[in-house]
Amino acid sequence: LPISTLRRVNAYLEEYQTQKSRTNGRFSGLSFGRLSSNVDTDEVIFEQPKPPASNKAFVEKILRQRSLEMRDQQQAWQESLEGRRMLEFRSSLPAYKEKEAILSAISRNQIVVFLSNQTEEGETGCGKTTQLPQFILESEIESVRGAFCNIICTQPRRISAISVSERVASERGEKLGESVGYKVRLEGMKGRDTHLLFCTTGILLRRLLADRNLKGVTHIIVDEIHERGMNEDFLLIVLKDLLPHRPELKLILMSATPDAELFSSYFNGAAIMKIPGFTYPVRTHFLENILEMSGYRLTSDNQIDDYGQERIWKMNKQAPRKRKSPIASAVEDALRAADLKDFSLQTQESLSCWNPDCIGFNLIEYILCNICEHERPGAVLVFMTGWDDINALKEKLLIHPILGDSSRVLLLTCHSSMASSEQNLIFEEPEDGIRKIVLATNIAETSITISDCVFVLDCGKAKESSYDALNNTPCLLPTWISKVSAQQRRGRAGRVQPGECYHLYPRCLHDAFTEYQLPEILRTPLQSLCLQIKSLKLGSISEFLSRALQSPEMLAVQNAIEYLKIIGPFDKNENLTILGHYLTMLPMEPKLGKMLIFGAIFNCLDPILTVAAGLSVRDPFLSPLDKKDLAEAAKSQFSHDHSDHLAVVRAYEGWKDAEMDLIGHEYCWNNFLSAQSMKAIDALRIEFLSLLKDIGLVDSNTTSCNTWSYEVHLIRAAICYGLYPGICFVVHNEKSFSLKTMEDGQVLLHSNSVNARETKIPYPWLVFNEKIKVNSVFLRDSTAVSDSLVLLFGGSISKGDGDGHLKMLGGYLEFFMKPAVANMYQSIRQKLDDFIQNK
Ligand code: CDP
Ligand code: MG
């Protein structure tokens, strides 16, 4: 607005404020800010209102009134029958016994680190997450400051934010959204009177974007810091800067492991308080013990001898079985693959060769069956690697005569992407005679406590589920857990009575586990983090990250910045471009974000949603060892485009049609496709679409996917735009072709790629998402693209300067083409860029 108009608006507002009579007192208790305009930058600035003294008193009066009401309400609940019963449960938790000491530590210090005092069996769900925030709220309410406090407690995952807030609200005899609420992306339950908010760490970071000083917030509680997620580490840097400016703001850190010194010294020697836990003893069995218990023994030549079997069969009055049981053979295979002779080899190599999938399902089924038939009552918690394993195991168990019988077994799953309505079942105790079995990811290690758990099965691996693409984490491979995680898993069995834990791997592998897991900031690409730092205007990326709890290597930071310059979100000076602004609003890998933006702009979003989702889940094309040829033949129906990415699109579309006719499963079976991956793609497509609607790139009212065109070239263009600089040049020989990238020279195609079976590629380039180095460099996936697509959508043309310049498109063209052709292409692209710039 012109400055003169702004002045008139301001004058008008001021008049309203002073002449209450004109507004019938409607605006009393409110005060207006001012709008002004910065002539230099054309920015309109909103100045916060300064409440006149009378208003301040008025607001305080209302808040005090409200605080009194809150106190009365709290007292009434605590005196009611239900309330007393709830208090009885709460006071049984170890944290409750320390209530006074906890509150006094918080009042005496600005920063306190709380941790559970670990026993050999691990930590116990001692009440940090549910009780600590509640203690603060209760004590504020008791001292009639209830309406003045504003407590925010962050959780690393959506599901824990929701489930904990529900639990705390019910412990306070309230509905969600009264004094206790939650907020996660695209969902929330928060009212005018909410003074304790559980949210994901991402939500608090986003709030910082709008309000750097966290105005009005009185307490920040960062939970599960031991997990060392990227967002939490990031938040701690921001808070460390903020706290000196907000001396009255309290920061409380909570960890389930004993490494509190690190956090304490990061905050210049913050106070540490241990909350003693309690666990019943847990009997631990490693694979060798499990084998022995079931009557097997490992012979010196790595064979499993079922020496006890005969005795067991005789005891049960059954004839001994001739054939070795599937478990014994599976364990034998796994031992052989890992070259693990006698359960005593302690090398890193055996860790990487040991494949729990070989034995996993059969062994788990066997142990579960044994527990159901012979063991005392108590829930069973099975730690699986990831979401897809959980689903696959569930399908297997559902058709089992005992485990699939719903009158005997209540089979539940627990992972970060499940609906909140599903969760409550996990906490409830089943009817007498029914055994509860929960298949869970590592989320049940600390974030979620299954209170009646007595038996734990631990497969030893963990993985960020494919849904974590949305939480800034690219799809990770399954990795071995740390010793601390194994201990946490074990501890879950000893909560209510002495328990049993079955580790489905030999003890020697456990001994080779690392002590702690490497923090996320040190093991994942930093591109998304760099984008976030820029969008929060936190200054130089390297300087900011050098102040982290454990700062990433500078090379990793430089790589990330260089990459962002090449693919477009950063300009030469590390400032956000327009593309960058949009990418900061899409919580996923920048390359996926770029593809989706392209799809939305060029109206070909539907297939691109599938491509982006396909890149975030496990390869949907299955290739069983004994049916490789059949599987390959099935895949070839989808692969006429010289593109692995388009093959996924075609397979998905076929599946979608089959689902309509209710034959989705059959379709997957016949075509060697993973039904789990198809379902995961389906779910991710919906998430991606809602994100694009959220930021206004797709009309929010439409139910369609913004698609006018299925033109294959356009889809190739989008894939090229997203995957560049993952690009290699195709060199044709007489009978076949070879591939070259600039960094690695000659590269090879992975045998599963559709292009690996071709003798000719009708385009000069392949773009790819992933390359892996074994002995040579292999491209896992690829899509063939033409010169013109690379020219138009292959990032910035400039040759750039410094080390990264070869990755710029100009460098590529020069490297692979005849000078005359390269020059011509460069000048075309330069003219185009100039044209766009001038328009
Ligand atoms: O954070 P910490 O692991 O110390 O424990 P917590 O999450 O506060 O859980 C304390 C206890 O509250 C658990 O052991 C459960 O018995 C109970 N709880 C529950 O019943 N339902 C929930 N959604 C969360 C906790
Ligand atoms: Mg907790």
Q: Would the pLDDT of 35 be above 90?
A: no
Q: Per residue in 447-501, pLDDT tens? A: 777 878 999 999 888 875 333 333 333 445 677 888 888 988 998 898 888 999 9
For residues 720 and 790, what is the distance between their CA atoms, to the nearest angstrom? Answer: 7
What does the mean pLDDT of the chain come to?
Answer: 83
Site to probe by mutation for ligand 1, drawn from 158, 420, 449 as the one with most ligand atoms within 8 Å of Cβ, is 449
6 vs 228, more confident: 228
pLDDT of residue 147: 93
475 vs 543, more confident: 543
Counts of helices then strands in the chain (DSSP H, E): 35, 27
Q: Would the pLDDT of 308 be above 50?
A: no
In the predicted model, what is the mean pLDDT of residues 605-628? 86
Spell out which residues have Cβ within 5 A of ligand 2, the ion.
128-129
Which H/E stretch holds residue 208? helix 201-210
Ligand 1 midpoint to CA 469 (Å)? 28
For residues 351 and 497, what is the distance between their CA atoms, to the nearest angstrom? Answer: 33
Which ligand minimizes its atom distance to the CA of 420? 1
Confidence band of 40 (pLDDT split at 50, 70, 90): low
| Single-letter residue type at 417 | S
Q: Which two three-digit tokens encode residue 463?
A: 């993985």
Q: Per residue in 687-723, pLDDT tens? A: 899 889 988 898 887 766 666 667 888 999 999 999 9
Confidence band of 314 (pLDDT split at 50, 70, 90): low
794 vs 765, more confident: 765
Which ligand minimizes its atom distance to the CA of 132? 1
C-beta of residue 589 within 8 angstroms of C-beta of residue 609? no
42-51, 78-87, 256-265, 584-593: range with highest mean pLDDT: 78-87
| Single-letter residue type at 253 | L
pLDDT of residue 583: 92
Nearest CA to ligand 1 atom 12: 127
Give which of 362, 413, 411 is closest to 384, Cα–Cα: 413
Confidence band of 300 (pLDDT split at 50, 70, 90): low
For residues 89 and 427, what is the distance between their CA atoms, to the nearest angstrom? Answer: 15
Q: Which atom of ligand 1 is nearest to the CA of 277?
A: 4
Give which of 357, 355, 362 is closest to 329, Cα–Cα: 362
C-beta of residue 133 within 8 angstroms of C-beta of residue 95? no
Confidence band of 28 (pLDDT split at 50, 70, 90): low
pLDDT of residue 788: 86
Nearest CA to ligand 1 atom 16: 451
Ligand 2 midpoint to CA 255 (Å)? 8
Confidence band of 530 (pLDDT split at 50, 70, 90): very high
Q: Which two three-digit tokens encode residue 804?
A: 């990264």
Confidence band of 183 (pLDDT split at 50, 70, 90): very high
121 vs 767, more confident: 767
456: CB partners within 8 A, 6+ apart:
282, 380, 381, 382, 383, 489, 490, 492, 493, 499, 500, 501, 502
Helix (H), strand (E), coil (C) string for 538-568: CCCHHHHHCCCCCCCCHHHHHHHHHHHHHHC
Q: Which atom of ligand 1 is nearest to the CA of 451?
A: 16
Confidence band of 122 (pLDDT split at 50, 70, 90): low
Peptide bond into 401 cis (omega under 30): no
pTM of whole model > 0.80?
A: no
Long-range pairs, 173-180, Cβ under 8 A, ≥24: 173/77, 173/80, 173/82, 173/83, 173/86, 174/77, 179/70, 179/137, 179/146, 180/137
Residue 66's alpha-carbon distances to 70, 71, 133, 178, 368, in angstroms, are: 6, 9, 20, 13, 53
Ligand 2 midpoint to CA 130 (Å)? 7
Which ligand minimizes its atom distance to the CA of 450? 1
pLDDT of residue 29: 54
Ligand 1 midpoint to CA 449 (Å)? 5
Site to probe by mutation for ligand 1, drawn from 85, 89, 98, 130 as the one with most ligand atoms within 8 Å of Cβ, is 130
Q: Which two three-digit tokens encode residue 791?
A: 């020219």
Which ligand minimizes its atom distance to the CA of 168? 1
Q: Which two three-digit tokens encode residue 162?
A: 């929701």
Nearest CA to ligand 1 atom 14: 125
Beta strands in 344-408 (DSSP E): 379-383
In the predicted model, what is the mean pLDDT of residues 514-541? 86
724: CB partners within 8 A, 6+ apart:
566, 567, 767, 790, 793, 794, 795, 809
Confidence band of 446 (pLDDT split at 50, 70, 90): confident
Give the binding-site residues of ligand 1, using a 6 Å CB cut-off. 93, 116, 125-131, 163, 167, 427, 446, 449, 451
Q: What are phi and psi of 220, to 5 degrees?
A: -120, 125
pLDDT of residue 392: 81
CA neighbours closer than 13 Å in the CB half-sphere of residue 592: 30
Q: Which atom of ligand 1 is nearest to the CA of 123?
A: 3
Q: Which atom of ligand 1 is nearest to the CA of 130?
A: 8
Ligand 1 midpoint to CA 74 (Å)? 21
Nearest CA to ligand 1 atom 18: 449
For residues 467 and 684, what is the distance between their CA atoms, to the nearest angstrom? Answer: 7
Residue 214's alpha-carbon distances to 63, 252, 383, 477, 559, in angstroms, are: 19, 15, 38, 37, 32
CB atoms within 10 A of CB 84: 11
95: CB partners within 8 A, 6+ apart:
102, 126, 127, 128, 131, 132, 275
DSSP 8-state code for residue 154: E
| Single-letter residue type at 77 | W
Which ligand minimizes its atom distance to the CA of 163? 1
pLDDT of residue 513: 85
Q: Would the pLDDT of 647 be above 50?
A: yes
Q: Which two three-digit tokens encode residue 740?
A: 């070259």
For residues 498 and 282, what is the distance between their CA atoms, to the nearest angstrom? Answer: 6
Q: Per residue in 401-431, pLDDT tens? A: 999 999 999 999 987 766 666 677 888 888 8
Q: Would the pLDDT of 354 be above 60?
A: no
Confidence band of 347 (pLDDT split at 50, 70, 90): very low
